[in-house]
Amino acid sequence: MCASDAGMIRRIGLLGGTFDPVHFGHLRSALEVRDWLGLDELRLIPSARPPHRDRPGASAEQRLEMVRLAVAGAQGLTVDDRELLRARPSYTVDTLESLRQEMGPAVGLYLILGWDAFCGLPSWYRWETLLELASLVVLQRPDYDLEAPEVLKDLMAARSVAGPAGSQAPAGEILLLTQTPLAISASLIRSLLAQGRSPRYLLPDAVLDYIEINGLYRPGHNEDSNPHAE
């Protein structure tokens, strides 16, 4: 049952990422958060020009296409391409502002972050504004053992709510979700491919087929073989 079925506010989950490429760690997280919060929709939002990392191995269009292939037919999972349509760098705060403007103040927006991403939040552009625009769902991730900076510990003490039932506001809350641990990362998949090894069963077959057809992440894959690289 979705939040809107129970006469509650509409709830939308947002999972941003480089998705270079999208894998079952992302997709399983998306599904578990969708069910845990009873979301009406969960949007995966590929980042066009990630401000925090090196240039991705696949172009923005290719990463978007892989996410589209990955969620095809999955109920409630959708793809939002607004970061690709924007000329400036993909700051999450801009994305949330544009979503909030579009959806109005009453819709519950839930920005999903892995624990590693959450711990790095204070370096994000206008990070303190994020909580004015959305709540945060922070996912435990098994391959990271980071300690949150003090400023985030204080924030968690002030803003945490106990699970989906305790979440009432359209923004401003922090929810912690311990999920099925899947120690999959896009870096692992890229590294397997670069070594000529198969990443099958770490990501959807449709995505792997796309990678193979387009020769992505293989040794020798570079701007010349990828005219769409950013």
Measured from the CB of residue 75, what is the shortest distance to ligand ATP in angstroms? 20
Measured from the CB of residue 222, what is the shortest distance to ligand ATP in angstroms? 18
Nearer to ligand ATP, 123 or 168 (CB): 123
Report whether 55 contacts 98 (CB < 8 A): no
Nearer to ligand ATP, 96 or 113 (CB): 113
Q: In this structure, what DSSP letter does residue 138 have?
A: E
Nearer to ligand ATP, 8 or 28 (CB): 28
Which of 214, 194, 165, 222 lies closest to 11 in space, CA to CA? 165
Give the torsion through C-alpha atoms of 54, 227, 204, 27, to 10 deg. Answer: 40
Nearer to ligand ATP, 56 or 76 (CB): 56
What gap in Å lies between CA 169 and CA 9, rounded to an integer?
9
SS3 31: helix
180 binds ligand ATP (CB under 6 A): no
Nearer to ligand ATP, 17 or 164 (CB): 17
Nearer to ligand ATP, 18 or 167 (CB): 18
Name which position in 13, 38, 108, 114 contacts ligand ATP (CB under 6 A): 114
Q: Which residue sits closest to ligand ATP, CB atoms considered?
A: 114
List alpha helices for 104-204, DSSP H: 115-119, 127-133, 150-159, 186-194
184 binds ligand ATP (CB under 6 A): yes
Name which position in 12, 13, 18, 68 contacts ligand ATP (CB under 6 A): 18
65 binds ligand ATP (CB under 6 A): no
- Provide the 10 A C-beta neighbour count for residue 148: 17
> Position of tokens 């269009």?
61
CB neighbours of 192 closer than 8 A, spacing ≥ 6?
198, 199, 202
Near ligand ATP in 19-48, by CB under 6 A: 19-20, 25-26, 29
Residues that bind ligand ATP (CB under 6 A): 17-20, 25-26, 29, 113-114, 116-117, 139, 141, 182, 184-187
